[in-house]
Structure 1
Amino acid sequence: MLIWPKFDAIPTVGPSGPIVSYIGAVRYLFDAPRMLQEGYGKFKGRAFKIAKIDTWMVVVSGSKLIDEVRDAPDDVLSRSEAVNDIIAIEYTLGPNIHTNKYHIPIVRSHLTRSLTSIFPEVNDEVLTTIGEIIAPKGDEWIALPALDTVMRVVCRASNRVFVGVPVCRDPDYCDANVKFAIDVMASAVFLNMFPKFMRPIVGNMLTLVPRTVHRIEKHLRPLIEERLHKMEEYGNEWSDRPNDMLQWFLEDADGEERTITNWTKRMMVVNFAAIHTSSNSFTLALFHLAANPAQYLQPMREEIEGIIREEGWSKASMQKMRKLDSFLRESQRHTGLDAITMTRKAVKPFTFSDGTKVPLGTHIACAALATHLDEDNYTSADVFDGFRFANMREGDGESIKHLFVSTTTDYIPFGYGRHACPGRFFAAAELKAMMAHLVLNYDVKLEDEGVRPKDLWMSASRSPNRAAKVMFRKRQL
């Protein structure tokens, strides 16, 4: 691990010597939240560094430095190159995904603009899937594995607007996409245990991409071929043209991307993003609800029932559910998926306004968990308060600032600025529909009542306990 003279001026959490820094890198794999909290406590509002296996990561906090990360040009601090390093895109998602990201503008524009029109389909799939999977009889309680159950609902609801019915309901198609999402993260963690010069050797041993492409392509090939035929036959006169992700990909792809295999890979990528983040985030929120049903179920029920009675199920009605919105936002603040966010790679040397110099090749990230648990940012920050943001929205001019999807320098689970999660508006609508239907139709609790399952950490990433179950019964009127 190299130490540049200018770089050595940045304080370190963990050992900083040329050899012993690797001890810090190994510790970061297993103790990242504590190391990041230690650095935040000592160097709040400043930069500190933590060793990784093959580079250093500079961590910043405070509005000023977070704004500077947000505002840095992509040809200086690159989000794309950082993501490529973190999840080893060439081996986990495929090299063309790294070099051509045409799916991101589609998610940011087409998907977000279509939310009002596609919400009824999302809502219908959520209701249908939950009813099929969570089916207690009478007043019995049933225990279901929380994360696996949520993944099945998220996969079907997302694919209702990705590829439509009946493919979104095909068990093999859904199973393949769910398994792929899990495999990508497991493979990325595994690859990041090796220095970069070894990754081609280790990465080429992974077979998850070609294996899963073949499995998913058999479901999409007939659908793609049918749509291409209709596009050729009817052109702009195709009156029944689907309004979904696959169709947007078919219309926007250029050159070598216009193959069934590459369209399949692109659908796998959006599924990975949707299933991994949404399922984990929702499960963490579900654990909060199931640990405290007496505190949260009835107030949310009353709000949801009143709004649905007046306006029905729509994207607009979801936006009026302040308690529901707040509950999901608070879960991400208190129990977010990542201890860091806004990770960038310095593709050119970068200097912060306070004089901190970051050399070429360094990763830069913002301290998310520590920011969210800072008493200067949130009163009783270490306490989960599901209606915290609903109460904050009561103030003048505060109604938009504290929405689930809103980003600020003290609320950064979605990132911040132009690279904030492009799919967060769709994810928010989907997760709100899921939570609303659960709250209205079921009572929930944990097997060990009131004791929230312990979350799992791998490096700076949190995930819900995969073995933990939530108990459901039909709502008792």
Structure 2
Amino acid sequence: MAHPFNLVETPLSLTYGIVFAALILLYVAKISSFKQRCLDRIPTIGGPSYPVFSYIGAFRFVRGAKALVQQGYSRYRGGVFKIARPDRWLVVVTGSKLMEEFRTAPDDVLSFVEATNDTLAISYTLGPNIRENEYHIGIIRGQLTRNLGYAFDGMHDEVVAAFGDEIRPQGNEWVAVPALDAMSVVVCRASNRAFVGLPLCRKREYVDLCIGFTIDVALGAFIINMFPTFLRPLVGSILTRVPKAIKKGVEHLGPVIEDRIEKMQENGKDWAQKPKDMITWLIEEAQGEERSVRNWALRILTVNFAAIHTSSTSFTHALFHLAANPQFIQPLREEVEDIVNKEGWSRASLQKMRRIDSFLKESMRYNGMGCLSMTRKALKPFTFSDGTVIPPGVYVNAAQTATHHDEEYYADPDVFDGLRFAEEEGQNMKHHLISTANDYVPFGHGKHACPGRFFAANTMKTMLAHLVLTYDVKMENEGVRPPDRWFGPASGPNATAKVLFRKRQL
């Protein structure tokens, strides 16, 4: 009998297997050691960085991420620091110099796509087709943005109709409206006027589906990411509501899609009445297995996921600021009246409403959607100019809230000034809502800045302009803005707070 360690007498295939396994273990150990050495050199905020003990910092991060990031930003300003999460380390970048290096890093080194895929567990929520083929992003960046002027009349019409359905004050009486719920419906209807058109954009069951889908994906990703990688496919198929939502999406969108295909086949590629909407563009761009009703319906729901949550959250923040600071209503109202009386409602006239633009931009600066932004996943080692090395597998972020409240970049940064960016016409574009910079990152910054921000800005500016012309607003507790809700690094407007509306008093 061969001795177990006698390689001479051991079968050759087994020998190769043992050697190969040993090499793999050595490689893993080397990589792990390199990763740990790199992380050890990055200062830690929130607790110890030792194995197991790092969960102390992870617990603090879940309870108070905003305060931890601010602490790190103040202590290591112009550098980097790290914070533990239950499942990973986060590295936070501060200062204009390192931010510039961060935003210009190659995609194959610091990946926005891989970070998003992991955060939203896209393989198990939206599915592998969305993960591997993002052709809808090109449509948002291209066709949708180019057709904002064409789509404006319909969007404005839908904003007016949606506000009228959601807010119904009688006479001179104030009516209390759950702000986030109502604004989510207005955003959804206005967005889907451009995505799928009438009458589906007004169908309540479809609106509820689109809003619910946003919650389903976010909740599903949270649940899935709590489990080890090998269990995630099973968890994704059992514990999330996304598959049921997609099935309902097919029920609503299927007849519209099939009718559109039939008309395109009958009338040719460039028929005169062809709608310029997301359905048309998806049908025209889809290739191979993407050409199915289910996949098109999933794309529509995915675009809604991107549009509804961000815009409804951002607009509700702005609404709270307006209702708590009614001194801004009159200057906004005067600007809108002056421009509309001269030029009517159009995208061109909307672009001239600098105060409206400024108010929304200041709200997004002041609140944002969390204390971190621009998440990237390191696929290869990345070295900053200060010598800091980011090892593969680590997530890198910008310190959004701390940067936006830094007095080096903004005068009186902790004061809300709705007219802060209201420059005269012709001033630098950097003051506009859609513009991004190293010190303004609600939409991200660089080549991966939100491609839908032009559409989102159009929607929110139309909503705010209509609101100030049509209603008076105030908080239930006058002058007091409800506190934001935080969970880990993410924040949102108070979901139960109500705003009081009444018909505008002339």
Q: Give the TM-score, by structure 1 length.
A: 0.96
Deviates more, 1:255-264 or 1:53-62: 53-62
Q: Which residue of 2 aligns with 1:179?
A: 212
TM-superposed CA distance for 1:406, in Å, is 0.6
TM-superposed CA distance for 1:394, in Å, is 4.5
Counterpart amino acid of residue 467 in structure 1? T
> Does structure 1 residue 199 correspond to structure 2 residue 232?
yes
Aligned length: 473
> Does structure 1 residue 69 correspond to structure 2 residue 109?
no
Q: Which residue of 1 aligns with 2:126?
A: 93
Q: Which residue of 2 aligns with 1:313?
A: 345
Counterpart amino acid of residue 274 in structure 2? R
Q: Which residue of 1 aligns with 2:251?
A: 218
What secondary structure sits across from 1:143 in the alignment? Answer: strand
Rounded Cα–Cα distance in structure 2 between residues aligned with 1:462 and 1:438 = 24
Counterpart amino acid of residue 383 in structure 1? V
Among 434, 437, 445, which residue is 1:416 paired with? 445
Rounded Cα–Cα distance in structure 1 between residues aligned with 2:138 and 2:184 = 25
Counterpart amino acid of residue 364 in structure 2? Q
Deviates more, 1:443-452 or 1:234-243: 234-243
Q: Which residue of 1 aligns with 2:50?
A: 17
What secondary structure sits across from 1:365 in the alignment? Answer: strand
Among 429, 442, 452, which residue is 2:458 paired with? 429
Q: Which residue of 1 aligns with 2:483?
A: 454
TM-superposed CA distance for 1:368, in Å, is 0.7
> Does structure 1 residue 145 correspond to structure 2 residue 181?
no
Among 360, 365, 372, which residue is 2:404 paired with? 372
Q: Which residue of 1 aligns with 2:83?
A: 50
Does structure 1 conserve the Cα–Cα contact (< 8 Å) formed by 2:70 and 2:402?
yes
TM-superposed CA distance for 1:87, in Å, is 1.4
Does structure 2 conserve the Cα–Cα contact (< 8 Å) formed by 1:375 and 1:381?
yes
TM-superposed CA distance for 1:88, in Å, is 1.2
TM-superposed CA distance for 1:198, in Å, is 4.5
> Does structure 1 residue 334 correspond to structure 2 residue 366?
yes
TM-superposed CA distance for 1:188, in Å, is 2.6
Q: Deviations over 1:75-129 (max 9, x none)?
A: 1111011011111112222221111111001100111111111111111100111
Counterpart amino acid of residue 386 in structure 1? G
Rounded Cα–Cα distance in structure 2 between residues aligned with 1:338 and 1:100 = 28
Does structure 2 conserve the Cα–Cα contact (< 8 Å) formed by 1:59 and 1:366?
yes
Counterpart amino acid of residue 418 in structure 2? G
Deviates more, 1:426-435 or 1:62-71: 62-71
Rounded Cα–Cα distance in structure 2 between residues aligned with 1:65 and 1:386 = 30
What secondary structure sits across from 1:364 in the alignment? Answer: strand
Does structure 2 conserve the Cα–Cα contact (< 8 Å) formed by 1:94 and 1:209?
no
Does structure 2 conserve the Cα–Cα contact (< 8 Å) formed by 1:91 and 1:206?
no
Q: Which residue of 1 aligns with 2:17?
A: none
Q: Which has the higher contact order (CA 8 A, sep 6+)?
A: 1
Counterpart amino acid of residue 429 in structure 1? N
Rounded Cα–Cα distance in structure 2 between residues aligned with 1:374 and 1:268 = 37
Rounded Cα–Cα distance in structure 1 between residues aligned with 2:363 and 2:241 = 32
Deviates more, 1:104-113 or 1:94-103: 94-103
Q: Which residue of 1 aligns with 2:4?
A: none
RMSD (Å), alpha carbons: 1.5
Rounded Cα–Cα distance in structure 2 between residues aligned with 1:338 and 1:196 = 26
TM-superposed CA distance for 1:201, in Å, is 4.2
Rounded Cα–Cα distance in structure 2 between residues aligned with 1:53 and 1:199 = 16
> Does structure 1 residue 299 correspond to structure 2 residue 331?
yes
TM-superposed CA distance for 1:436, in Å, is 0.7
Among 101, 110, 114, which residue is 2:143 paired with? 110
What secondary structure sits across from 1:472 in the alignment? Answer: strand
TM-superposed CA distance for 1:410, in Å, is 0.7
Counterpart amino acid of residue 193 in structure 2? R
Alpha-carbon distance change, 73 to 257 in structure 1, aligned in 2, over 3 angstroms: same
TM-superposed CA distance for 1:236, in Å, is 2.3
TM-superposed CA distance for 1:231, in Å, is 1.8
Rounded Cα–Cα distance in structure 1 between residues aligned with 2:419 and 2:231 = 48
What secondary structure sits across from 2:103 in the alignment? Answer: helix
Alpha-carbon distance change, 21 to 201 in structure 1, aligned in 2, over 3 angstroms: farther
Rg larger in 1 or in 2?
A: 2
The 5 A counterparts of 1:28-39 are: 28-39=61-72
Does structure 2 conserve the Cα–Cα contact (< 8 Å) formed by 1:53 and 1:195?
no
The 5 A counterparts of 1:437-448 are: 437-448=466-477
Counterpart amino acid of residue 297 in structure 1? I
Q: Gaps (5+ residues) in structure 1? A: none
Alpha-carbon distance change, 220 to 429 in structure 1, aligned in 2, over 3 angstroms: same
What secondary structure sits across from 1:418 in the alignment? Answer: helix
TM-superposed CA distance for 1:195, in Å, is 4.7
Q: Which residue of 1 aligns with 2:200?
A: 167
Q: Give the TM-score, by structure 2 length.
A: 0.91
Does structure 2 conserve the Cα–Cα contact (< 8 Å) formed by 1:91 and 1:209?
no
TM-superposed CA distance for 1:200, in Å, is 3.5
What secondary structure sits across from 1:137 in the alignment? Answer: coil
Q: Deviations over 1:138-177 (max 9, x none)?
A: 0011001000000110111000000000111111111111
Does structure 2 conserve the Cα–Cα contact (< 8 Å) formed by 1:334 and 1:372?
yes
> Does structure 1 residue 463 correspond to structure 2 residue 463?
no
Does structure 2 conserve the Cα–Cα contact (< 8 Å) formed by 1:53 and 1:192?
no
TM-superposed CA distance for 1:316, in Å, is 1.0
Q: Which residue of 1 aligns with 2:394?
A: 362
Rounded Cα–Cα distance in structure 2 between residues aligned with 1:142 and 1:12 = 49
Q: Gaps (5+ residues) in structure 2? A: 1-31
Rounded Cα–Cα distance in structure 2 between residues aligned with 1:408 and 1:372 = 11
TM-superposed CA distance for 1:444, in Å, is 0.4
TM-superposed CA distance for 1:191, in Å, is 3.4
What secondary structure sits across from 1:360 in the alignment? Answer: coil
Rounded Cα–Cα distance in structure 1 between residues aligned with 2:230 and 2:92 = 25
Among 169, 180, 187, which residue is 1:136 paired with? 169
Does structure 2 conserve the Cα–Cα contact (< 8 Å) formed by 1:326 and 1:386?
yes
Rounded Cα–Cα distance in structure 2 between residues aligned with 1:291 and 1:92 = 38
Rounded Cα–Cα distance in structure 2 between residues aligned with 1:126 and 1:81 = 35
What secondary structure sits across from 2:201 in the alignment? Answer: helix
Counterpart amino acid of residue 452 in structure 1? R
Deviates more, 1:270-279 or 1:126-135: 126-135
Rounded Cα–Cα distance in structure 1 between residues aligned with 2:270 and 2:115 = 43
